């Protein structure tokens, strides 16, 4: 018997477009012999809509104006009888067997959507409320990991209200130039920038503050950008080999990741076997310490001269686009895209029934 698999995409996030492309790839690779796919889109204004149109219109964003294939949905939390109710003149209840929230960023990956799904009492793929919120907050993540022998760059926590001349002087004194400024709660490098002068620092803080009230300033690490993928199945946890991203720009920012794609990718990465093994060891320790489940991508820096490892961040709902590192790494680990979806579904359903 087929399982009904609901793919949720879109969302009230600055990573909306990435979610559309990720979801389209998941839908295209899900085994239609095993799953009845239900496509649920969330608009930028927060409306939930059942979408029955072609997947191509999800990828290019046209789904939201394809009104003949769109039905508005309301959420009815009612314990194990919870459902999503179709409106637009109809009252059809939908209760999928499992939900895959292929959705990134604020109001989506940060535990808020996971809280809604918990209220529905329906199995869903991915980290739960606490770990989603914790991992989304880069500052909170660092505070948890700092006493666990996880090497990290020097950083300074900033509140939007703290920004003044005294702060500029403090950052220059404690971190020096160049430094990175990023929103504490954001993904895909949205709102992040590199500052090499006081003028650039002021602009970088303004940009980050436009995304989040919590900001993270970090020392610059001249290093390779190394990523590894974690798949937490029911019977075993797989940590992939490492991949390396060589951005052909200042750093691996949003435009480089998803628009211009001016980057080189290496799988496996160009680090020594011993350093690779240590990165994978750190990735699993971080994954488990932060109470993650099903999947995460864990990112590091590895310096080129002495291969010093520095933890960067963890992403609990990594991209699934055609150029995303997570599915590429899992494929190299012997788990192709279609099987990856199967493993995630099995894990989510199995853990829910425990």
Distance CA 138, CA 146 (A): 12
255 pLDDT more than 80: no
Q: Return all residues near 262 (Cβ < 8 A) that are at least 6 apart.
A: 247, 248, 249, 256
Query: What is the CA 310 to chain-centroid distance, rounded?
Result: 19
Phi, psi dihedral angles at 293 (to 5 degrees): -145, 150
Q: Does the pLDDT at position 135 exceed 50?
A: yes
pLDDT tens track for 42-82: 999 999 999 999 999 999 999 999 999 999 999 999 888 89
Per-position DSSP letters for 138-162, written without gaps between them = HHHHHHHHTTTT--B--EEEEEGGG
pLDDT (tens digit per residue) in 265-288: 999 999 999 999 999 999 999 999
Q: Return d(Cα 80, Cα 17) in angstroms, integer.
A: 33
Tell me: pLDDT of 257 over 90.
no
Judge if the upstream peptide bond of residue 284 is cis by omega within 30 degrees of 0: no
- Judge contact between 247 and 256, C-beta under 8 A: yes
CB 192 within 8 A of CB 183: yes
- Looking at every residue in the chain, the average pLDDT score rounds to 93
Are 71 and 88 in contact, with CB atoms under 8 Å apart?
yes
CB distance 13 to 101 below 8 Å? no
What digits encode the pLDDT tens for the residues 80-131?
A: 889 999 988 778 899 999 999 999 988 889 999 999 999 999 999 999 999 9
Question: What are the pLDDT digits (tens) for 169-212?
Answer: 999 999 999 999 999 987 657 889 999 999 999 999 999 999 89
Residue-level pLDDT at 248: 75
């Amino acid at each position: 018997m087929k399982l009904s698999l609901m793919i949720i995409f879109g969302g009230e996030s600055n990573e909306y477009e990435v979610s559309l492309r990720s979801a389209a790839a998941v839908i295209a690779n899900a085994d239609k012999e095993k799953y009845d796919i239900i496509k649920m889109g969330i608009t930028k204004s927060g409306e939930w809509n059942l979408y029955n149109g072609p997947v191509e219109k999800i990828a290019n964003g046209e789904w939201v104006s394809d009104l003949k294939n769109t039905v508005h949905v309301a959420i009815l939390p009612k314990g194990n009888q919870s459902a999503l109710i179709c409106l637009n003149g109809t009252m059809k209840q939908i209760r999928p067997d499992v939900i895959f929230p292929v959705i990134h960023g604020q109001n989506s990956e940060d535990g808020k959507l996971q809280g809604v799904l918990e209220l529905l009492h329906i199995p869903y793929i991915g980290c739960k409320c606490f770990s989603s919120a914790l991992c989304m907050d880069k500052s909170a993540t660092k505070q948890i990991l700092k006493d666990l022998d996880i090497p990290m760059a020097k950083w300074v926590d900033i509140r939007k209200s703290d920004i003044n001349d005294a702060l500029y002087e403090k950052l220059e004194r404690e971190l020096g130039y160049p430094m990175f400024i990023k929103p504490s709660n954001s993904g895909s490098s949205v709102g992040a920038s590199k500052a090499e002068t006081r003028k650039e620092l002021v602009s970088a803080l303004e940009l980050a503050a436009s995304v989040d009230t919590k900001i993270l300033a970090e020392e610059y690490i001249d290093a390779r950008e190394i990523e590894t993928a974690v798949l937490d199945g029911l019977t075993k946890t797989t940590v992939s080999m490492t991949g390396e991203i060589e951005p052909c720009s200042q750093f691996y920012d949003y435009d480089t990741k998803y628009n211009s794609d001016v980057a080189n990718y290496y799988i496996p990465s160009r680090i020594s076997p011993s350093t690779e093994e240590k990165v994978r060891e750190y990735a699993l320790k971080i994954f488990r310490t932060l109470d993650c489940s099903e999947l995460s991508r864990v990112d590091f820096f590895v310096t080129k001269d002495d291969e010093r490892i520095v933890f960067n961040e963890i992403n609990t709902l990594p991209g699934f686009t055609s150029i995303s590192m997570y599915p590429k790494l899992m494929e190299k680990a012997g788990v192709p895209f279609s099987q990856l979806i199967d493993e995630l579904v099995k894990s989510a359903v199995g853990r829910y029934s425990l």
